[in-house]
Amino acid sequence: MAKRARHYWLMKSEPDVYSIHDLERDTTEPWDGVRNYQARNFMREMKLGDYALFYHSNAKPSGIAGVCEISKEAFPDHTQFDPDSKYFDPKSTVEEPRWQMVEVKYVEAFDDVIPLADLKVEPALEGMWVIRKGLRISVTPVEKQHFKQVLKMAGAKTKVR
């Protein structure tokens, strides 16, 4: 059986909640608290070894801060069952969980965040989900050529195969 090609993603987090530097310190971390069905469905598609751009949202500036790798495929998000969590979902059960999470592993923090404004004016990134007007989803697919362009813009060490 042929090996599946690596896929690429973008995952947003507010840096005051969890940043690329927090992931660098922790090495791996579950990506919990996603409560958008489309974002959840994208996480269900993620496979071990896929890369994701780590995006700092609601920041000054908002933008891409680094790269992480999927280190554990989708599994039930434990926060949906915790009544003390802001991500608690009373309609979700252990037998039929609604929400999934993946685990991510640190790969690289960029020297500088690539601001959203720079992404929007880069012709090679045309069509990238994160720059589409009105699209505020926290997990999106990224085309390989877009991923490579972001790495180039960042002067990143990460290599794409």
* Whether the predicted pLDDT of 153 surpasses 80: yes
What pLDDT band is residue 14 in, cutting at 50, 70 and 90? very high
**Residue 58 belongs to what domain range?**
8-152
Residue 133 lies in a domain: yes
Q: How confident is the model at residue 136 (pLDDT cuts 50, 70, 90)?
A: confident
Average pLDDT, the chain: 96
Q: What is the pLDDT of residues 77-102, one digit of tens each?
A: 999 999 999 999 999 999 999 999 99
In the numeric block, which tokens belong to residue 101? 């999470």
- What's the pLDDT score for residue 107? 98
Residue 1 above 70 pLDDT? Answer: no
Residue 1 is assigned to a structural domain of this protein: no
> Is residue 2 situated within a structural domain?
no
> Is residue 160 included in any domain, yes or no?
no
23 found inside a domain: yes
Determine the pLDDT at residue 133: 83
Task: Judge whether 3 lies within some domain.
Answer: no
What single string gives the DSSP state of each residue in the chain?
-PPPPP-EEEEEE-TTTS-HHHHHHHSEEEE-----HHHHHHHHH--TT-EEEEEE-SSTT-EEEEEEEEEEEEEE-GGGG-TTSTT--TT--SSS---EEEEEEEEEEEEEEEEHHHHHH-GGGTT-GGGSTT---SEEEE-HHHHHHHHHHHT------
Q: What's the structural domain count of the chain?
A: 1
CATH number at residue 63: 3.10.590.10
